[in-house]
Amino acid sequence: MPQTEELLKRLGVTIDPETLRLALTHRSFAYENGGIPTNERLEFLGDSVLGFTVTDYLYANYPDLPEGDLAKRRSAVVSTRALARLAREHQVGPHILLGQGEILTDGQNKSSILADTMEALIGATYRSNGLRVAQDLVLRLVLPLLTEVEDHGLGMDWKTTIQEAAAGRKLGAVEYLVTGSGPDHARQYEATLKIGEKTYRSGTGPSKKEAEQMAAAASWPDLQDEGL
């Protein structure tokens, strides 16, 4: 297991070693090591801290938004996709304790495992430091994502956003040209967005769906420049 000091430095928090190890213990590792505790309880706790902190921030800082718009913004930054993106940005994956089956199937890069571990780390921060420190961590993590939501106005489901906008403007069929590379246990995909006869940007990910989302997100600013 790589040293965790750098991970804590990237997150900007301190977590006591026992709690940190628990936060990084996936159930596959626990099962292979005699049924030791997993990070699932910390994940449950972190999910609550995350949801409350984001909800409180949105309520205080967007006084004119109706409940539905607040909910859309919240869902955009607490989704599995958003949390997995944050985990990748902070290089959480290499620190997760995984069983051999998950290691062989590149579990450290699976969005569900990354997102769950991110919530567990938030829970661990709360247990080690209290609510204020945990909330500060959450806001450091999600404020850049909320800024993206504010800039684009339609959340982070870029595929749906582009599909609806292209249909409204009658720009032609939206499709993604997808290629895969690498061994089966560590497959990587690249997707390129095409609308009508025009080709836009590409994105990569460990699944076709995520590669398509990344391509859509990368292409959205260009589409906005074109008045979409």
Pull the structure tokens for residue 224.
């906005």
| pLDDT for residue 156 | 56
What residue has token string 């921060």? 125
Contacts of 82 (CB under 8 A, 6+ apart): 76, 142, 145, 156
Percentage of the chain lying above the pLDDT 90 cut: 59
Contacts of 23 (CB under 8 A, 6+ apart): 15, 39, 42, 117, 120, 121, 123, 124
| pLDDT for residue 227 | 66
Name the burial class of residue 108, with classes exposed (0-12), middle (13-18) and buried (19+) by CB atoms within 10 angstroms of its CB. buried
Residues tagged in the binding site annotation: 43, 116, 119
- Confidence check: pLDDT of 88 > 50: yes
Mean pLDDT, to the nearest integer, of 187-205? 91
The pTM (predicted TM-score) of the whole model is 0.72
Mean pLDDT, to the nearest integer, of 58-74? 88
Distances (CA, A) of 25 to 93, 98, 147, 179: 12, 7, 32, 33
Q: What is the pLDDT of residues 158-184, one digit of tens each?
A: 788 788 778 878 889 999 999 998 887
| Candidates 102, 119, 190, 212; catalytic one | 119
Residues of the chain with CATH 3.30.160.20: 171-226
Of 171, 187, 167, the closest CA to residue 179 belongs to 187
Widest Cα–Cα separation across the chain:
58
| Candidates 47, 106, 190, 210; catalytic one | 47
Question: What CATH number matches the domain at 171-226, 3.40.50.300, 1.20.810.10, 1.10.260.40, 3.30.160.20?
Answer: 3.30.160.20
Q: What is the mean pLDDT of the chain?
A: 89
Question: If one looks up domain 2-151 in CATH, what number appears?
Answer: 1.10.1520.10
47 is an active site residue: yes
CA distance 42 to 196: 47
Residues tagged in the binding site annotation for Mg(2+): 43, 116, 119
Q: What is the pLDDT of residues 2-54, one digit of tens each?
A: 578 999 999 999 999 999 999 999 999 999 999 999 999 999 999 999 999 99
- Confidence check: pLDDT of 154 > 50: no
- When comparing pLDDT for 217 and 128, which is higher? 128
67 is an active site residue: no
Residues of the chain with CATH 1.10.1520.10: 2-151
| pLDDT for residue 152 | 55
Question: Residues 18, 123, 136, CA angle at the centre, nearest 5°?
Answer: 115
